[in-house]
């Protein structure tokens, strides 16, 4: 069951195209990112990124998702991951790759009393530009900037990025952007 949960989450992310400066091939494991980048580790994500959790709070299976609030592929992944919430804890980490609106909306989602409900509202209105993000404290925007810096240090180029641990061998599994589906 563990392997199936992570595989489904990673497959959901893999079937989507990436948003960002460029679409890059996914890494099979952490540390295979761009040369000279920071190795992708769960510890680095846990200590350096701030996001919000949805799903089973007590689950040993944790899946980290770097997303941009303006990315339609990230919105599709949010929807695709919904059935898996009972089997894993998903930590959604906002980054700002697609402009200032990304920073503001990501910060607004983090700042909300119920980030998951705000994300639902945002994704439901993404075709109309998403949620309004006025009056968000600069400190929350700084959190999104810090997440973006970590994302960049890992060598990622596009969102969504899904990071988790293979339950069988303990290896870090990273799926960035899209995979060929044929």
Break the chain into its structural domains and give their ranges. 1-9+61-172
Q: What is the pLDDT of residues 52-72, one digit of tens each?
A: 999 988 888 999 999 999 998
Q: What is the CATH number of domain 1-9+61-172?
A: 3.40.30.10
- Given a cut of 50, the residues of the chain with pLDDT beneath it are 1, 3, 5-17, 22-35, 179-182
* Residue 108 token pair: 């607004």
How many angstroms separate the Cα of 82 from the Cα of each of 8, 78, 98, 139, 152? Answer: 11, 7, 24, 29, 27
Host H or E run for residue 5: helix 2-14
Tell me if 68 sits within 8 A of 104, measured CB to CB: no
Angle at 33 between CA 87 and CA 177, to 5 degrees: 55
pLDDT of the residue at 134: 83
């Amino acid at each position: 069951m563990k392997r199936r949960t992570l595989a489904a989450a990673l497959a959901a992310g893999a079937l989507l195209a990436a948003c960002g400066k460029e679409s890059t091939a996914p890494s099979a494991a952490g540390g295979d990112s761009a040369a000279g980048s920071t190795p992708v580790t769960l510890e680095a994500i846990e200590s350096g990124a701030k996001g919000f959790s949805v799903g089973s709070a007590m689950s040993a299976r944790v899946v980290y998702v770097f997303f941009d609030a303006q990315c339609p592929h990230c919105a599709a992944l949010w929807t695709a991951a919904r059935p898996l919430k009972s089997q894993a804890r998903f930590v959604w980490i906002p980054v700002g790759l697609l402009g200032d609106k990304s920073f503001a909306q990501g910060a607004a989602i983090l700042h909300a009393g119920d980030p998951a409900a705000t994300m639902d509202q945002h994704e439901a209105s993404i075709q109309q530009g998403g949620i309004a993000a006025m009056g968000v404290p600069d400190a929350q925007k700084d959190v999104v900037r810090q997440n973006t810096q970590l994302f960049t240090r890992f060598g990622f180029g596009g969102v969504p990025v899904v990071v988790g641990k293979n339950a069988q061998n303990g290896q870090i599994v990273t799926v960035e952007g899209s995979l060929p589906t044929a």
